[in-house]
Amino acid sequence: MRHTMMRVEPFVAADIPPFLAMADREGWICAPEEFSFLLRTFPAGCCTVRRDGIPLAFITSIRYGTSGWIGNLIVDHGLRGQGVGRQLMEAALAALQQAGTKSVWLTASQQGAPLYARLGFATVDTIRRWQGMGAVAPAPADKLSQSSYRKMVSIDRHGWGDRRASILCDSLVAGDCRSLDNGFIVTRPAPDGIQIGPWSALTADTATRLLDASYSPDPSASPVVLDLPEGNRHATDLLGRSGFSTIGSTLLMCRGTLPPFHPETIYALASMGSMG
């Protein structure tokens, strides 16, 4: 059977179901809403490779201020080892460079890290995935004030070294937010459970108070998951005391100029590794 040439094309809304099916086979935690957000926010950096009209590989990316994130790189097993992943990476990097980014982040499996290293990425930290069984309390119904939102953006910027208002706004739409003077936590529905994140705090006491107000361990309740930089030692201790345990890890990698990065204030990423 003769196949047409494979090429990189835009990732469109109709590609979301086949991506989710492929991701599910890999055991990834993905929600359709994430892709609606990505395609709406930075469509130029979301790509697929098709053969005979069938999408067989995917990648997404998003631009914040002067930084970007690449995620969701997945290639059909039959195409692996043929340079398709690199082709998609180069397309996403080109889109981010054209958008003016100075640094690009991603999380990498041990298998994927060599490809990213060849493309100029260096390891900055390790991201641990934590899971607990518990109940999440609804946040107060009061609307987040403008001053609280600005403080939220500022606290997040202290951790990541960039203004990431778009993903914070999306998290407020998708989940419940609790905020204090020195921190905030968002909880939201996730496939088969609850996700915590983003969660940032400038002090250990604030982080503890936020978790205590949001989460109660309960072995009969739902799985609660979050991704955490290993560089935050207090968070590791706090989660351990709260009944969480690690279920996996990836490498946090960056290419270009490393922004001011303060993992000690980052208690959970805003996504499951794909958008930071």
Residues with Cβ within 8 Å of 133's Cβ and at least 6 positions away in sequence, in order, are: 217, 218, 219, 220, 221, 222, 223, 224, 243
Q: Is 182 helix (H, G, I), strand (E, B) or coil?
A: coil
| Tokens standing for residue 104 | 């690009």
Which amino acid does the sequence have at 172? Answer: L
> For position 4, what pLDDT does the model report?
52
Task: Single out the residue of 71, 64, 66 nearest to residue 165, CA to CA.
Answer: 64
From first to last of its 276 residues, the chain has per-residue pLDDT tens of 344 567 899 999 999 999 999 999 988 888 888 999 999 999 999 999 998 889 999 999 999 999 999 999 999 988 888 999 999 999 999 999 999 999 999 999 999 999 999 999 999 999 999 999 999 998 876 778 888 999 999 999 999 999 999 999 999 999 999 999 999 999 999 888 999 999 999 999 999 999 999 999 999 999 999 999 999 999 999 999 999 999 999 999 999 999 999 999 999 999 988 999
Please provide residue 233's backbone torsions phi and psi, each rounded to the nearest 5 degrees. -70, -40
Q: What whole-number distance in Å separates Cα of residue 39 and Cα of residue 215?
A: 32
Please provide residue 232's backbone torsions phi and psi, each rounded to the nearest 5 degrees. -90, 90
Match 């936590």 to its residue by tokens. Answer: 185
pTM, 2 dp:
0.94
Cα 207 from chain centre:
20
DSSP 205-232: HHHHHHHHHHEEE-TTSEEEEEEEETT-
> For position 30, what pLDDT does the model report?
85
> For position 2, what pLDDT does the model report?
45
Count the Cβ atoms, other than its own, within 10 Å of residue 251: 20
CB environment 62-91: b (16+ within 10 A), e (fewer): bbbbbbbbbbbbbbbeeeeeeebbebbbeb
Beta bridge partners of 135: 216
Domains of the chain: 7-101 (3.40.630.30), 127-268 (3.40.630.90)
> For position 1, what pLDDT does the model report?
39
> For position 139, what pLDDT does the model report?
82
- 203, with CB counted inside 10 A (0-12, 13-18, 19+), is middle
> For position 113, what pLDDT does the model report?
95
